[in-house]
């Protein structure tokens, strides 16, 4: 019961919160090491996703002062999902088990203990699931829950109320490495690995400092990315919609309704929407065929 744990924390412009995050994670890791739950070779890995502030300088200072801290510097900003994948794939040969979490301290780090308990019980993947959303606004709570329900309706398997706070064994990470798509939505990809998994509940707190990296516009884009990355149901919906509109047109014509102008505007809007959805899938195919690297690691600070 002393496997090597690497906690992977993607960071983008986190200079305000990083010192406190490092302090709390260090306390947690030292406690786990003292209790014999993880190896002394365990590490906290901060992944700098092309930050333009002093995030990378802080990470280098942490590494220089304590070997418990490691750092990965990406060559440029690649987005949260790519930064998280970069961290996980970089530590795959250094760790027996990894836990990913955000840097904003909203994820309850005490859930790490429960995740490790499940890991030692034989689970390869342990999802951190929010027990409630009391800290969210009504709009955020409604939109988030609607997203999970919509994903399920479209046939995409995601874990309800789970973000990217999870534990993965080395075997699970190697399974994740077999997925080569450029369009990343890890919350949907990881359940496809298929190894034994479970969940632990935790309460998500307020952000300690700084601003959220996911305003409404980004949240909507992320949701659209997830839907189109995991499901072709929208394409099939377009076909069904076309048939429905044809039936409605025939019925209106048979009833003697003209409605020419309104029908033109309505159908034109539907056509543009359909073209947009089809274009999204074509764009994804284009990016996949180019097979560009999902991330490039410029520097990896790590001591064994």
Q: What is the pLDDT of residues 126-184, one digit of tens each?
A: 999 987 656 566 666 666 667 667 666 666 677 777 888 999 999 999 999 998 887 77
Same domain for 272 and 155? no
Q: Tell me: do 206 and 268 sit in the same domain.
A: no
Tell me, what CATH number does 143's domain have?
A: 3.90.550.10
- pLDDT tens digits along 255-282: 766 566 557 656 766 776 777 777 777 7
User: Do residues 14 and 131 share a domain?
Assistant: yes
Task: Return d(Cα 29, Cα 66) in angstroms, integer.
Answer: 13
User: Within a 10 A sphere around the Cβ of 56, how many other Cβ atoms?
Assistant: 23
Decide if 202 contacts 108 (C-beta within 8 A). Answer: yes
Helix (H, G, I), strand (E, B), or coil: what is residue 45? strand
Residue 185: closest CA among 285, 286, 79, 256: 79
Let me know whether 44 and 98 are in one domain: yes
3-state secondary structure of 92: coil
* pLDDT tens per residue, range 186-214: 888 898 898 999 999 988 766 555 555 55
Residue 49: half-sphere exposure toward Cβ, Cα within 13 Å: 22
**Total residue length of the chain:** 304
Q: Are residues 208 and 286 in the same domain?
A: no
In the chain, % of residues over pLDDT 70: 70
Domain containing 265: what range? 229-290
CA 222, CA 185: separation in Å to the nearest integer? 8
Instruction: Check whether residue 140 and residue 285 sit in a common domain.
Output: no
pTM passes above 0.85: no
165 burial type by CB count under 10 A (0-12 exposed, 13-18 middle, 19+ buried): buried
Residues 280 and 297 in one domain: no
Structural domain includes residue 267:
yes
Per-residue pLDDT reduced to its tens digit, 104-113: 888 899 999 9
In 3D space, the residue among 301, 304, 302 whose CA is nearest the CA of residue 57 turns out to be 301
**Assigned domain for 220 exists:** no
**Virtual CA dihedral for 18, 21, 22, 27, nearest 10 degrees?**
170
Domains contained in the chain, number: 2
- In this structure, the answer to whether residues 282 and 202 fall within a common structural domain is no
Reference 131, options 115, 150, 111; nearest CA is 111
């Amino acid at each position: 019961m002393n496997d090597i744990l690497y906690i992977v924390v993607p960071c983008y412009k986190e200079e305000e919160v990083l010192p406190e995050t490092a302090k709390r994670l260090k306390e947690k890791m030292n406690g786990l090491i003292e209790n014999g739950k993880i190896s002394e070779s365990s590490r906290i890995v901060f992944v700098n996703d092309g930050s333009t502030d002093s995030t990378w300088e802080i990470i280098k200072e942490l590494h220089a002062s304590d070997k418990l801290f490691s750092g990965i510097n990406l060559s440029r900003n690649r987005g949260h999902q790519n930064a998280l994948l970069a961290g996980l794939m970089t530590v795959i040969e250094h760790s027996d088990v990894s836990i990913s979490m955000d840097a904003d301290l909203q994820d309850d780090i005490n859930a790490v203990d429960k995740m490790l308990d499940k890991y030692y019980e034989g689970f390869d993947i342990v999802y951190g699931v929010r027990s409630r959303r009391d800290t969210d606004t009504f709009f955020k709570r409604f939109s988030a829950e609607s997203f999970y329900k919509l994903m399920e309706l479209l046939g995409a398997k995601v874990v309800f109320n789970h973000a990217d706070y999870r534990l993965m064994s080395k075997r699970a990470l190697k399974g994740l490495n077999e997925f080569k798509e450029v369009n990343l939505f890890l919350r949907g990809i990881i359940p496809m690995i298929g190894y034994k998994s479970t969940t632990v509940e935790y309460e998500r707190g307020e952000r300690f400092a700084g601003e959220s990296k996911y305003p409404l516009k980004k949240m909507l884009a992320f949701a659209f990315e997830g839907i189109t990355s995991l499901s072709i149901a929208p394409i099939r919906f377009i076909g069904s919609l076309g048939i429905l509109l044809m039936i409605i047109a025939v019925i209106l014509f048979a009833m003697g309704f003209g409605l020419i102008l309104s029908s033109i505007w309505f159908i034109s809007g539907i056509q543009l929407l359909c073209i947009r959805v089809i274009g999204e899938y074509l764009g994804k195919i284009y990016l996949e065929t180019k097979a560009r690297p999902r991330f490039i690691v410029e520097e990896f600070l790590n001591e064994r």
